[in-house]
Structure 1
């Protein structure tokens, strides 16, 4: 089921669709579903969510976002107690009405019941609310048949990219130690240091392409290959090449690959892969996963520039379409960055030194 095929004809449909539009069942949240075009078959343009309660000014970017997306009408859905949801719905309705954007339905769901802020007919919207089933409804059933998944909550989504532990972590740590020692020895022992940057970058770019192709066939990387790719991506030119390889046909593959590496790599090597995961998820319109991935990157390195760039874009509700339109090609990267330089490798060498010290 793609966004263009979702037909929402009742509050039950709306509340049944929300978890699949977000990827998880929301709690204490305001969700805005926005459409372009007139009539019942308006095209879904964007779905956004805010935690409740939100701070003053949290919705300031909502109207600019909807105008960029040429939105004509919206549906609002709040999840939680009335004291939490009603002020948020009121503020959203005010902003949208002032902007000339229609609100065709506004709902509050709590437990297994919902209330409408738009309908005042007692026969269909009684004071005690109407019962609904977010799991077994018609839209939920069609979404499940279509292969979509709605996780129980945001915490479950966070756990899906949380670091592996136990034996898997020990094996990955040992693989990283061996890879770090091998790469350091090779770089130190090279007879021609001037050739190092070009060879390292070229080999790293080739490994990135092979890894994407392998994951496209659902092949998980062995620990030593995952660790080696983590070292490669610590070089910005290699990371940026991986970024340029994302397109509509491969974005799901990129999400799977970078999510797997975000879980498995040692913390110091996480920022590049978590940032790539964020970019791929954002490109697909999955801003919840994109935000969680950015949090993982910044937790490992608060100064990591790509993660901070993505975080600013997510906070400003920048459309993922911008990522598609402005993505440079590998040839443009080569032209802008010039021939490989030794300074490109310095951050990676620093990580290797730190990891070697930590694992002795």
Structure 2
């Protein structure tokens, strides 16, 4: 099965089942276990990489059929991680679905205990009954992927840890900065004679701060705690958040990842959703899902996170949504002049910011 597979990050030459198994952790971001992986190939390009937990929940593969059709997948590679009773039904189900659509199953593998078995080859000389040993860590493919900056963490929990909130002195500093920013905005609003004028100023300044933050990140810099905390308040307003969304490009994930880890929980849903969109655009659907899980754990009703999660669960390509995004000029034209009602999502954070103590007075 020699083939050269393009990914969003690199071209990986896969000449054997062992090469495929070495590539999978870099395609999904971690070394899977108890999983079904489906790779959809179009002209030697990985167009689709999807993962399900095993055993498969009922109807779990329903989104796969329209995805294979929509993406015009020519060939699939199926990989199951686990013992035979767990993996074989899932492989059969995915293989039958592909056959029904006329999609070739290029390879179907089961991996367990450092060995693999092929469901499409029964030749003892290349696929013995006891399985074929393999070691992804020593593979040429792993070396190629690493050179191109691709990363495979030990498991999904380790990948989740890359988005976990920062602790220790960083957390204390961010809490203080957030409390200061909240107090300042609350005070300004209390003194505002015209709420609509206050909203116009808030949104205008927030749009400037979004662009400034992107510029700092593009130059290799990092927002300080006061800047990060203030931007967190800005992004609570949908018009400001959507400015960041419409300006999205593939280089922004680092900024949104940093803020997802640094901001206080009430302000995380917006930046985690922006991180999800940025990750999804670059083909990192697993990280996108983890970011959305963080957002929805804090605010289950957050609409942007729910929209993106629905798209990911249905294996939609990011281009389907990206091509429908308005420009900043479109937002300005359709939404009109900012008014006080735009700040409604921010008010609960100003009135009763959870887990944010009052600013500390420095010791003399």
Same fold (TM > 0.5): yes
* Alignment partners' CA distance in 2, 1:107 and 1:322: 31
Partner of 1:273: 271
Q: 2:154 aligns with which of 152, 155, 167?
A: 152
Q: 1:28 aligns with which of 25, 34, 38?
A: 34
1:299-318 CA-partner distances (Å, limit 9, x unpaired): 11111111111111111111
* TM-score relative to the length of structure 2: 0.93
Partner of 1:137: 139
Kindly indicate whether the alpha-carbon contact (under 8 Å) linking 2:197 and 2:339 is maintained by their aligned counterparts in 1: no
Q: SS where residue 108 of structure 2 aligns?
A: strand
Structure 1: give runs of 5+ residues left out of the alignment: none
User: Which structure has greater helix proportion?
Assistant: 1
Partner of 2:25: 19
Q: SS where residue 347 of structure 1 aligns?
A: coil
Residues 246-325 of structure 1 mapped to structure 2, 5 A cutoff: 246-247=248-249, 251-252=250-251, 254-325=252-323
Q: Residues 193, 24 of structure 1: CA spacing in aligned structure 2 closer, same or farther, 3 A cutoff?
A: same
Report the count of equivalent residues: 352
Are positions 1:110 and 2:112 aligned together? Answer: yes
Kindly indicate whether the alpha-carbon contact (under 8 Å) linking 1:181 and 1:356 is maintained by their aligned counterparts in 2: no
Kindly indicate whether the alpha-carbon contact (under 8 Å) linking 1:283 and 1:320 is maintained by their aligned counterparts in 2: yes
Q: SS where residue 274 of structure 1 aligns?
A: helix
CA deviation after TM superposition for structure 1 residue 111, in Å = 2.5
Are positions 1:95 and 2:97 aligned together? Answer: yes
CA deviation after TM superposition for structure 1 residue 191, in Å = 4.8
* Alignment partners' CA distance in 2, 1:357 and 1:165: 14
* Alignment partners' CA distance in 2, 1:286 and 1:145: 18
* TM-score relative to the length of structure 1: 0.94
Q: Residues 67, 111 of structure 1: CA spacing in aligned structure 2 closer, same or farther, 3 A cutoff?
A: same
Q: Residues 193, 173 of structure 1: CA spacing in aligned structure 2 closer, same or farther, 3 A cutoff?
A: same
* Alignment partners' CA distance in 2, 1:63 and 1:270: 34
CA RMSD after TM alignment: 1.6
Q: Mean alpha-carbon deviation: is it higher for 153-162 or for 215-224?
A: 215-224
CA deviation after TM superposition for structure 1 residue 324, in Å = 2.3
Partner of 1:55: 57
Q: 1:338 aligns with which of 336, 339, 350?
A: 336
Q: Residues 187, 2 of structure 1: CA spacing in aligned structure 2 closer, same or farther, 3 A cutoff?
A: farther
Kindly indicate whether the alpha-carbon contact (under 8 Å) linking 1:177 and 1:356 is maintained by their aligned counterparts in 2: no
* Alignment partners' CA distance in 1, 2:46 and 2:285: 16
* Alignment partners' CA distance in 2, 1:7 and 1:159: 30
